[in-house]
Amino acid sequence: MNGNELAESRGFPRLADKIKRALGPAGLFFRGFMENPRMVGAIVPSSPVVVKAVLEPVDWANTRLFVEYGPGVGTFCQPVLDRLRRDADLVVIDTNPLFIEHLRKTITDSRFHAVLGSAEDVEGIVKSVGHEKADYVLSGLPFSTLPEGVGTRIASATQRVIRKGGAFLTYQYTGAARDYTRRFFPRVDTGRVWANIPPCVLAWGWQD
């Protein structure tokens, strides 16, 4: 019996469905956490304060492709689209079909591409939407709880796919994503957002 089957046998999806209907996107996010906490890593989406802080260093005027790993219910999607130039693209990648289905139904912007898949395959996904490199990659993935080896493969593929001058942007509730970033990027800026529950660790790994 896998994790999802075990959760279903204990009634978690039925409880989560009730929460989803009552709370909308926040309820859907909670359901995603209940079904796969190792891949979601939080019970509620990030606050607007985190969104603003993470995106602050982005050079939007020169961004043609922005990629996000683990978009969840789209907390960052609209803020990114609001800042993105009209001829640019936003690609989001998630392994959870619940989140991808929700995003495809709720975001109709032609620049938006929601992909059901793994961040390990980011290089192929980027090429599939007509780009060779990404300008920025954003990740809220819980690197501290990913299966063994997955975090390293994701960070390595990310380093290869980002153009010179671009950056890997991470936010997490431990220092794991920051530490992975330091292994693969020559310059890393860090920060914290205390006005979030729980407080958030930020890192920007620059492809100098």
CATH number, domain of 144, equals 3.40.50.150
Please determine, for residue 118, whether its predicted confidence score (pLDDT) is greater than 50: yes
Please state the domain count of the chain: 2
The whole-angstrom separation of Cα 164 and Cα 103 is: 30
Instruction: Looking at the structure, tell me whether residues 25 and 89 fall in a common domain.
Output: no
Instruction: Looking at the structure, tell me whether residues 157 and 68 fall in a common domain.
Output: yes
Token pair 């409880």: residue:
15
The percent of residues above 70 in pLDDT, for the chain, comes to: 78
Instruction: Looking at the structure, tell me whether residues 8 and 59 fall in a common domain.
Output: no
The model carries a pTM of 0.80
The whole-angstrom separation of Cα 8 and Cα 113 is: 30
Higher pLDDT, 177 or 42: 177
Instruction: Looking at the structure, tell me whether residues 123 and 187 fall in a common domain.
Output: yes
Condensed to tens digits (0 to 9), the pLDDT of residues 151-201 reads: 999 999 999 999 999 999 999 988 999 999 999 999 999 999 998 878 899
Please determine, for residue 33, whether its predicted confidence score (pLDDT) is greater than 90: no
pLDDT, position 144: 87
